[in-house]
DNA sequence: CTGAAAGCGCTAACAT
DNA sequence: ATGTTAGCGCTTTCAG
């Protein structure tokens, strides 16, 4: 008799049908309904259709909360954008990719930001709200700029995560597991080589090399310059997340110093557009006076002539992150080797061969 | 004795402490722990600290799944981007605003896309996955381009939602409840008036007026032109989500038709940048030959001279959407009146007064 | 193949 | 103020 004292059991103004209601109506046990709802094969067809009918009649929708409690898992990833002012187009596309893959896999994506200092000890780091209670999310996708203390904190708390590795800042090298990386080193090398092949000798790199992604590209540029016996030059003025202004100011600085230069390799498209603007303000034209290469190719066709740049398939980065996250969950906490996404130099209209190319060749 | 047969109860390799473990350790009842964890005032300080200690010792994190089942509510909103190819910077900022407010209110945001046809009947619409099971999300924020069939479907299924109203497409006028709108009509009128005041007579509107947001701006423009006794002109070439190309092609079309024109009002900044590019390709300079105004001010300073445009505080739009969504949940399903976000004309460098302003004045 | 029933971790009503 | 306990809706043994 106790059973009929239950709260909502036979409360007519209850709005949503439960598995029990379906079972009652179909004259089967709740277990059977569960099996049908979860598409398990071991159900008599007669019963199955009776259940399906009843479910449809009651417009039954399984309750995600009950399910996740019973299964002790939801299907929810968290995309955490760390230490960024806002959702930049680059990360928009990554998020998009994550969402896309998740959708197909039946998972969902939460979007959160998280600001933290790299100098706080892992054990003392106050985690983002979404991680403060248990079971809000199954796995975390770390994007934005991250540091070891956060990943350590996650590990010590047994929170599964995957990492967008390019923007991970640490002294040593991170062991290449549970992370996705796009191959900006190869892309940057290709870009530098391309400029050199076009006959450029004075090639300036612009980008804040205190940040690891700019730095990786810079080092690839360095290697190519060295290989070609050329003198590298770099200029950077870091100004928060405003990369356009960074590029603009940096170029002004270079021009003020009267360093001779025929080409610019920028660490990011935004930086390139800013640099371009800086050139324009000094009456310099691209590519007539200065050749220009960017990085990312996320801006769409917002420039003319079309910007030569290194394309990063950010959508694919996101999809792979999601795939890896879901793999982590289903293959019980095992580490998964790094996934490397190739990049591609998009030769467009902002680079020109130098007229004195032959002379330059001879010199080398 | 039954109680000790429970599955994990005293399984040492269980990883996460439950409320019961805390209660045991603190020598209190689970109810008390619950009260402490939920910061309820009616707990003896002595007990409270004992519980807190025990919780810390066990590094207890409340289980969100159990909690949401018991409370029959999670703290999870869904941001649904409808019928868009990707997360455009405009909506990035709205999402950002939603996330910001939610964070402060202790809510979380899921990001989903949803493509649907306006011609499907509400009852036959296949809802996005996140809405197919019950309790995945408490309230839905509708962004992107939406139609009545979807909002109807949500209503008939008793799923609470709030709407970004500017991009809502329907024949009649939507009743102004549970929605946030930014005042693009006033902003567009101001922009048109500004051009007219500067002495422009031939002002062309560019933007795909089949979309309601472009259309609203267009109509505001029309009213101002009419008020000033001027002949309106509009050009549009819709090309998917690629607004830059839309602007570019449209301007080429106008120029091909040799319609005299001294100013362009574009429905969006992207369109404006595209139009600008189109002008440049024909050797026309902004603002020397043509004055230009955009709309949104989401792109950051990506242009030079700086684009005059109508600023929309998209962050605020997002925050208000979140606020309204949460209000809906806490004030038990009541309708909430529309919130209107003001816009602001940012007078920058792409408009110039006409030299023959006085003559123009006299004519009118 | 199906039914019965024990949990999942937490909240909230009730009793003390 | 605190303890006890019946659920929340679902999954998953375990018998049969």
Banded model confidence at residue B356, pLDDT cuts 50, 70, 90: low
Measure A5 CA to D7 C1' (Å). Answer: 10
Q: For residue range B78-104, list pLDDT tens digits in order.
A: 999 999 988 989 999 999 999 999 999
Choose the weakest-confidence range: A207-216, B227-236, B305-314.
A207-216
- In chain B, residues with a C-beta closer than 8 Å to the C-beta of A105 are none
For residues A7 and B311, which has the higher predicted lDDT (pLDDT)? B311
Burial class (CB in 10 A: 0-12, 13-18, 19+), A179: buried
B267 pLDDT higher than 50: yes
**For strand A203-206 and strand A263-266, is the pairing parallel, antiparallel, or unpaired?**
parallel
More confident residue, A97 or B360: A97
Chain A's closest residue to B246, CA to CA, is: A301
Contact A135 B280 (CB under 8 A): no
Protein-to-nucleotide distance from the CA of A37 to the C1' of D15, whole angstroms: 23
* Residue whose tokens read 């996740």: A68
| Strand D bases within 7 angstroms of protein beta carbons | 1-13
CA angle A193/A202/A196 to nearest 5° reads 20
What confidence score (pLDDT) does residue B2 get? 33
Question: B26: Cβ–Cβ under 8 A, 6 or more apart, which residues?
Answer: B32, B33, B47, B50, B51, B53, B54, B55
Q: Which residues touch strand D (CB under 7 A)?
A: A 2-3, 5-9, 16, 18-20, 30-31, 34-35, 37-38, 60, 62-63, 65-67, 69-71; B 27-32, 35, 42-44, 46-48, 66, 69-70, 72, 134
Give the closest residue to C8 (Cα–C1′).
Answer: A70
Nearest CB among A65, A66, A111 relative to B109 is that of A111
Asked whether the predicted pLDDT for residue A239 surpasses 90, the reply is no
The pLDDT of residue B242 is: 79
**C-alpha span between B181 and B184 (Å, rounded):** 8
Residue whose structure tokens are 């819709």: B238
For residue range A67-82, what is the model confidence (pLDDT) as tens digits? 999 999 999 999 999 9
Give me B86's structure tokens.
């990707």
* H or E element, residue B51: helix B45-57
DSSP symbols for B145-156 = SEEHHHHHHHHH
Which residues in chain B have Cβ-Cβ distances shorter than 8 Å to A13?
Answer: none
For A147-186, what is each residue's pLDDT tens digit? Answer: 999 999 999 999 999 999 999 988 777 888 999 999 999 9
Encode pLDDT of B38-54 as tens digits.
999 999 999 999 999 99
Please say whether the beta carbons of B203 and B225 come within 8 A: yes
- Find residue A266's DSSP bridge partners: A206
Where is B264: in which H helix or E strand?
strand B263-266
pLDDT greater than 90 at residue A225 = yes
| Residue at minimum CA to C1' distance from nucleotide C3 | A29
Read off the pLDDT band of B170 (50, 70, 90). confident
Instruction: Give pLDDT, residue A14.
Output: 52
**What average pLDDT does chain A have?**
90
Kindly determine whether residue A302 and residue B61, on different chains, have CB atoms separated by under 8 Å: no
Q: Are B336 and B177 in contact (CB under 8 A)?
A: yes
Chain-centre distance for alpha carbon B153: 20
Nucleotides of chain C touched by protein CB (<7 A): 1-13
**Amino acid B32 CA to nucleotide D5 C1' distance, rounded Å:** 14
DSSP state of B177: B
pLDDT confidence of A240, banded at 50, 70, 90?
low
Residue-wise pLDDT for A339-363, tens only, equals 999 999 999 999 999 876 454 444 4
Answer for the pair A30, A23: CB distance below 8 angstroms, yes or no.
yes
- Taking 80 as the threshold, does the pLDDT of residue B241 lie above it? no
Structure tokens at A197: 């092949």
Q: Inspect the interface and report whether the beta carbons of A64 and B134 lie closer than 8 Å.
A: yes
Q: What is the mean pLDDT of residues A297-319?
A: 88
pTM, rounded to two decimals: 0.92
Given a contact cutoff of 8 angstroms between Cβ atoms, the answer to whether B261 and B202 are in contact is: yes
* Cα torsion angle, A142, A216, A316, B297, sign: positive
Q: Which whole number is the average pLDDT over B285-294?
A: 95
Are A111 and B111 in contact (CB < 8 Å)?
yes
Best CA proximity match to A165, nearest among A104, A132, A105, A213 = A213
Whole-number Å distance between alpha carbons of B16 and B154: 37
Which residues of chain A are within 8 Å of residue B89 when distances are taken between CB atoms?
89, 92
Question: What are φ and ψ of residue B241, in 5° steps?
Answer: -85, 0
């Amino acid at each position: 008799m106790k059973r009929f004292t239950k709260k909502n059991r036979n409360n007519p103004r209850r709005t949503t049908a439960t598995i029990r209601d379906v079972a009652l109506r179909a004259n089967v046990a709740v277990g059977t309904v569960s099996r049908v709802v979860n598409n398990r094969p071991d159900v008599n067809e007669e019963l199955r259709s009776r259940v399906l009918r009843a479910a449809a009649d009651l417009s039954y929708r399984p309750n995600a909360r009950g399910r996740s409690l019973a299964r002790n898992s939801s299907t929810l990833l968290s995309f955490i954008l760390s230490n960024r002012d806002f959702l930049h187009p680059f990360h928009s596309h990554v998020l998009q990719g994550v969402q896309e893959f998740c959708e197909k896999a039946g998972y969902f994506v939460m979007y959160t930001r998280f600001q933290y200092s790299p100098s706080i000890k892992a054990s003392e780091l106050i985690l983002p709200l979404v991680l403060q209670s248990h079971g809000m999310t199954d796995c975390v996708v770390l994007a934005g700029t991250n540091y070891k203390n956060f990943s350590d904190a996650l590990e010590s708390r047994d929170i599964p995560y995957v990492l967008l590795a390019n923007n991970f800042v640490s002294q040593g090298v991170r062991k290449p597991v549970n992370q996705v990386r796009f191959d900006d080193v190869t892309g940057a090398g290709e870009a530098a080589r391309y400029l050199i092949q076009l006959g450029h000798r004075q090639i300036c790199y612009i980008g804040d090399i205190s940040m690891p992604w700019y730095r990786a590209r810079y080092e690839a540029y360095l290697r190519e310059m060295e290989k070609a016996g050329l003198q590298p030059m770099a200029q950077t003025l870091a100004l928060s997340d405003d990369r356009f202004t960074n590029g603009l100011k940096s170029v002004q600085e270079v021009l003020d110093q009267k360093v001779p230069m025929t080409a610019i390799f920028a660490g990011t498209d935004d930086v390139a557009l800013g640099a371009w603007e800086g050139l324009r303000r000094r009456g310099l034209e691209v590519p007539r006076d200065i050749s220009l290469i960017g990085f990312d190719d996320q801006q769409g066709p917002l420039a003319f002539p079309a910007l030569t740049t290194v394309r990063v398939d950010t959508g694919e980065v996101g999809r792979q992150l999601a795939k890896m996250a879901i793999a982590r969950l289903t293959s019980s906490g095992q580490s998964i080797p790094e996934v490397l996404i190739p990049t591609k130099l998009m030769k467009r209209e902002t680079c020109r061969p130098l007229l004195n190319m032959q002379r330059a060749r001879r010199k080398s």
